[in-house]
Amino acid sequence: MFKPRDIIELIADNVRKTRNPFGVPNVLMNRWWKGKDLRTEGDAMLFTGLMYQSVPYIEMTTRHLERYEDSAVADYVKYGKYMPKFLVGLGLALLSSKEEKKKSSDMLHSIAKVLTRSKVDFCYKPELDYYSGVLLYDLGDIDGFMSHARFVADRLREDGVKKLITVDPHTTYALKVLYPKYVGETFEVKTYFELVNFRGENGTKQVTLHDPCMYGRYLEMSDVPTKVLENLGIECVPVRNSGKFTNCCGGPAESISPKLSREVLERRVKELQSTGAPIVAMCPICMTHLKKGGVEVEDLSTLIARCA
């Protein structure tokens, strides 16, 4: 296991200086909207929280963390905060997989397609789409989280944004629960799948839906995507631990202990595989981590978009 303080301080320093956990400039990380005809004015703003865009960087950094956990190199993590952020971020941006970047962008394109098909009056403003800061909260840096959340909330409020459409459970939880509690800012927040307003079929008859911790245990909204899929002619095969009792995939623990994260992952993969149906995730962290367990995983957004 890495020393938690070293990891927390490095992530907090990155968020302070670059507004995301990896130190990558947002202009390099957030490019999915380029070339897309997305409106900049609308009733609600699509707010990605940069989570899908982070997947290529999560994969690359956790691969190195797993390699060096419990080695002499682990002690040098704490010095990462002293390295020039621009150079580190540029290096990560250049070294991360182009294929994974495209996959992440495609999933966000699917979400935009679903919203358009549902006739949702939405807009996208990349200059206001920031990381929520939720990992700082998860790791116990409440002061760092509050400072960053205040920055994000202020930018949104100054632009007159009142309604947000989210794409992942972590950002959704941060905006719905943590922002009102810690910075006193309340937005009307809905996930993209709550706004699905069409029926159809794409040939898929059954899936195994993995409930992320945030949607299942904390926001208690696992029934929503299940009903959406039912309207598309897709049955969600029951999983032994789901809803309020869902089991974590282990992804959130990976930054501190890849080994512990792997143990949690293997347990969850066995539960999901036992149904015999294709596995679907509705969180970019879960999807990325479950794939490390050697299983095929599709994102909920692409599954719904195939019916749009």
Residues 27 and 117 in one domain: yes
Report pLDDT for 76. 40
Beta strand pairing status for 163-166 and 44-47?
A: parallel
- Of 177, 194, 211, the position where a domain reaches its end is 194
Name which of 261, 143, 278, 305 is nearest 208 in CA terms: 278
CA separation for the pair 1, 23 (Å, rounded): 22
Query: Bridge-partner residues for 236, per DSSP?
Result: 207
Q: Whose CA is closest to 43, among 109, 119, 113?
A: 119
Q: Is the pTM of this model over 0.75?
A: yes
Report how many domains make up the chain: 2
3-state secondary structure of 2: coil
Provide the 3-class DSSP secondary structure of residue 286.
helix
User: Are the C-beta atoms of residues 100 and 55 closer than 8 Å to each other?
Assistant: yes
The answer to whether 100 and 63 are in contact (CB under 8 A) is: no
Residues 92 and 218 in one domain: no
pLDDT at 102: 94
At 139, list the tokens: 């790791």
Residues 298 and 204 in one domain: yes
Residues 14 and 46 in one domain: yes
Separation of alpha carbons 164 and 48, rounded Å: 9
Query: Is the domain of 25 the same as that of 155?
Result: yes
CA distances 283 to 148, 166, 182, 212, Å, are 22, 11, 24, 7
Domain boundaries, position 203: 199-305
Distance separating alpha carbons of residues 284 and 296, to the nearest angstrom: 14
Residue 4: what pLDDT? 66
Q: Which residue has the tokens 């703003």?
A: 45
Please say whether the beta carbons of 75 and 8 come within 8 A.
no
Locate 54 and state its tokens.
């982070």
Judge if 158 and 209 occupy the same domain: no
Residues 29 and 158 in one domain: yes
Residue ending a domain, among 126, 159, 194, is 194
The whole-number pLDDT of residue 216 equals 96
- My answer on whether 172 and 208 are in the same domain is no
Last residue of a domain, one of 174, 194, 214: 194
Q: Which residue has the tokens 């195939």?
A: 306
146 plus 248 within the same structural domain: no
How far apart, in Å, are the Cα atoms of 195 and each of 12, 204, 205?
Answer: 34, 21, 22
Q: Report which of 173, 192, 176, 187 is spatially closest to residue 134, judged by C-alpha positions.
A: 173
Same domain, 23 and 138: yes
How does pLDDT run along the chain (308 residues), one tens digit per residue? 546 677 778 888 889 989 999 888 888 899 999 999 999 999 999 999 999 999 988 876 766 566 645 555 445 444 355 454 555 666 666 667 788 899 999 999 999 999 999 999 999 999 999 999 999 999 899 999 999 999 999 999 999 999 999 999 999 999 999 999 999 999 999 999 999 999 887 778 999 999 999 999 999 999 999 999 999 999 999 998 999 999 999 988 877 788 888 999 999 999 999 999 999 999 999 999 999 999 999 999 999 999 98
Let me know whether 206 and 189 are in one domain.
no
Phi-psi region of 19 (alpha: psi -120 to 50; beta: other; left: phi over 0): left
Q: How far apart (Å, rounded) are the C-alpha atoms in residues 289 and 280?
A: 12
Based on the fold, state whether residues 143 and 234 are members of the same structural domain. Answer: no
Q: Please state, in angstroms and as integers, the Cα–Cα distance from residue 112 to each residue in 33, 131, 202, following that order.
A: 10, 19, 18
